[in-house]
Amino acid sequence: MERRVSENPFGEFRRECRDLLLRVLEKISPDLMTYKVALEIPPNPQFGELTSLICFEASKYLSKPPLELAREIEAISKSELGFFPLLESIEAAGQGYVNFHANFERLSSLTIESAIALDKEYGYVKTEKPEKIIVEHTSVNPIHPIHVGSARNTFLGDSIARILKARGHSVSVHYYVDDVGRQSAIVAYGYKLLGRPKPSSKPDHFIGAIYAVTNCLLEIRRLKKLLERSKDELSHDEAQRIRNILDDWVAVAVELQEKFPDIFSSLLEAFEKVADPESEVNLLMRNYEEGDSEAKELIREVSSLCLEGFKQTLERAGITFDSWDWESDFIWSGDVARCLNALKKTPYVFRSGDVFEFDAESVARDFGLKEALGMKKNYEIPSLTLGRSDGTTLYTTRDIAYSIWKLENADRVINVIGIEQRLAQIQLKLALYALGYSGKAERLIHFAYNLVNFPGQRISGRRGRYITLDEAMDEAVSRAYEEINKRSADLTEEEKRKISEFVGIGAVKYALIETDPLKPIVFTWDKVINFERNSGPYIQYSHARACSILRRAPRRIEEADFSLLKEPIEHEIILLIARFPEIFMEAADNLRPNIIADFANSLADKFNAFYASLPVIKAEPPELSNARLMLVNATRITLRNALFLMGIEAPQRM
């Protein structure tokens, strides 16, 4: 009996094509069995479902034209097709291509029935080598709200974790709480000057306001002192440069005073009573690293308040973490000091003035790592400063200890970190090599992503200029409500609000996932909330449309004659559904969540073209209606499963 369920229908078709081609090549010449058989998707459906270029290479060995060899393969294959049920024919084409055409009745049956039978597991092909993987993502410093730029990190990281889990890996999702350093000390200092007040708004927004105002007042004070103290030492150009920077900060102060009048006036008044706030910030930063109880209590309190706000935002977006890892814990446990001492014992650390430097270039050269790190041979990797002259540590050096801990607890570690941190991530990896962790270093992956740009917006956390993820989700939900209200007047108000919530949030997620991570994103609302083309709502609407068709069907269909599905658009949908498992495996094995988004959009496009041109429930004869209803169900399942991998809800009504 023919097998009717497959976890990878197109993969089975691909295997049959490869096996048939190898069988024919062996008959022509056993020596041809050494050639690698590559099968590609042809650019046009008229060339079949797969094509091979093997004749262009193998014909050289046989001393015959590629087209002649292709025709020989076509002729011999005719007697072999009976052993390969998913294959209809092989044909020679062009100058020597070998094109493979599927038996669509059988491929349709296998694909549709597999999708329906496997349901929520369809497409999620399990790996033969499951790993224990840590995915670290988001890790926004607890000093201001998560903004839309860093939310790209959040949604890419969440999608990667979902995809890897679906692939069969054991995935643990971590958040690295960067509570050490100047930024945390600044916000804690401002919070202390205000008398450690209870948040008057969402905690992370409240803390973000304190950070922006405190940082601004510190910068203005610092720049004014610099101009006063160095009046006779600075050149005219240098003095003018500092004045320009000061003017910019004064403009920022005006903005912040308008946005946060109470916090601004209270902090300004408190600052006027302090002789040297900069020294107090530095002392707080140093005390915290040294584990001073008062400093620990203060900074942990501020950080925890901000994290409380993060958790509210992330919960709304459906994002969860398995572990919240505090940077300070790795200092207080002595792990960071042990790493630094071990590094100093290697030949790759040298003293430069009051600080130690790590010679990253020499490690890359000695271990022959330039090419593996994607760097040009003539590029000299800058050294890494291991600490400040006052004895406090720096972010990347603290990250060495954290990375070792993660690598000791996982087979692979994926850090979702902005592309601007590429050099720091390379220096980190080279430090691991220098410390003797070569094997572990190779399992540390920097998943880089580019910036999110907003036309007409200047984003800066230090200046309090950002669009928070909360604001973006609110705006998206509001715009989604307007669209749903226009399109679905029959829904109750409660239904409209509920649907608008997951459509709006899904729209923001899709917008930040669908572009190649290494390319920047231009975030515009007319693209994000669009029910007519490439967007989250468009795919969700397509899923809801499929659900609507199935709800209106007068009967439940469990069997059908798939030979009746003859239209080109039907074949295109079947091929996409059949290929979903292959696309999923590529997304999982090569960390490419954006191709899931691209696939879902393509399937939505084909399905909407099908819906617009062909009847389903009223199709005649009834057997054709049955086949189309099962095709709609398979489409629904595939769209839902693709949306799940992006963390986007698949609605049944819109």
Q: What is the pLDDT of residue 3?
A: 47
Residue 534 and residue 421 in one domain: no
Q: pLDDT band at residue 392, thresholds of 50, 70 and 90?
A: confident
> In the predicted model, is pLDDT for residue 26 greater than 70?
yes
Residue 186 lies in a domain: yes
Q: What is the pLDDT of residue 243?
A: 93
Separation between Cα atoms, residue 515 and residue 513, nearest integer Å: 6
> In the predicted model, is pLDDT for residue 21 greater than 80?
yes
Residue 597 lies in a domain: yes
Residue 347 and residue 422 in one domain: yes
Q: Which of 409-413, 442-446, 481-485, 612-616 has the lowest mean pLDDT?
A: 481-485
Q: What is the pLDDT of residue 129?
A: 96
Q: What is the pLDDT of residue 342?
A: 96
Residue 407 and residue 356 in one domain: yes
> In the predicted model, is pLDDT for residue 457 greater than 70?
no
Q: Tokens 């009967």 label which residue?
A: 555
> In the predicted model, is pLDDT for residue 43 greater than 50?
yes
Paired tokens of 144: 């201001």
Separation between Cα atoms, residue 493 and residue 507, nearest integer Å: 21
pLDDT digits 0-9 by tens, 513-569: 999 999 999 888 888 888 788 899 999 999 999 999 999 998 888 889 999 999 999
Region class of 400: left (phi > 0), else alpha (psi between -120 and 50), else beta: alpha
Q: What is the mean pLDDT of residues 429-452?
A: 96
| Overall pTM > 0.75 | yes
> In the predicted model, is pLDDT for residue 213 greater than 80?
yes
Alpha carbon distances (Å) from 246 to 225, 251, 269, 398: 11, 9, 20, 32
Residue 299 and residue 354 in one domain: no
Residue 94 lies in a domain: yes
pLDDT digits 0-9 by tens, 119-129: 999 999 999 99
Paired tokens of 42: 């042809």
Q: What is the pLDDT of residue 463?
A: 67
Residue 559 and residue 542 in one domain: yes
More confident residue, 233 or 508: 508
Number of domains in the chain: 4
> In the predicted model, is pLDDT for residue 427 greater than 80?
yes
> In the predicted model, is pLDDT for residue 230 greater than 90?
no
User: Pick from 288, 303, 318: which residue ends a domain?
Assistant: 303
Residue 167 and residue 197 in one domain: no
Q: pLDDT band at residue 229, thresholds of 50, 70 and 90?
A: confident
Residue 650 lies in a domain: no
Residue 287 lies in a domain: yes
Residue 78 and residue 164 in one domain: no
Residue 159 lies in a domain: yes
Q: What is the pLDDT of residue 503?
A: 95
Q: What is the mean pLDDT of the chain?
A: 94
Residue 381 lies in a domain: yes
CATH number for the domain including 92?
Answer: 3.30.1360.70
CB atoms within 10 A of CB 370: 16
CATH number for the domain including 566?
Answer: 1.10.730.10
Residue 210 and residue 288 in one domain: yes
Residue 198 and residue 72 in one domain: no
Separation between Cα atoms, residue 70 and residue 612, nearest integer Å: 40
First-to-last alpha carbon distance for the chain, in angstroms, is: 42
pLDDT digits 0-9 by tens, 170-199: 999 999 999 999 999 999 999 999 999 999
Q: Range of 291's domain?
A: 182-303
Residue 503 lies in a domain: yes
Q: What is the mean pLDDT of residues 609-626?
A: 96
What is the strand order of the sheet 412-418 is part of? Answer: 323-326, 170-177, 132-136, 412-418, 444-449
Q: What is the pLDDT of residue 456?
A: 65
CATH number for the domain including 332?
Answer: 3.40.50.620
Q: What is the mean pLDDT of residues 431-444?
A: 96
Separation between Cα atoms, residue 309 and residue 141, nearest integer Å: 12
Half-sphere exposure of 156 (CA within 13 A, CB side): 33
* 621: preceding bond cis by omega (within 30 degrees): yes
Residue 403 and residue 534 in one domain: no
Residue 175 and residue 187 in one domain: no
Residue 419 and residue 508 in one domain: no
Separation between Cα atoms, residue 519 and residue 517, nearest integer Å: 5
Q: What is the pLDDT of residue 1?
A: 38
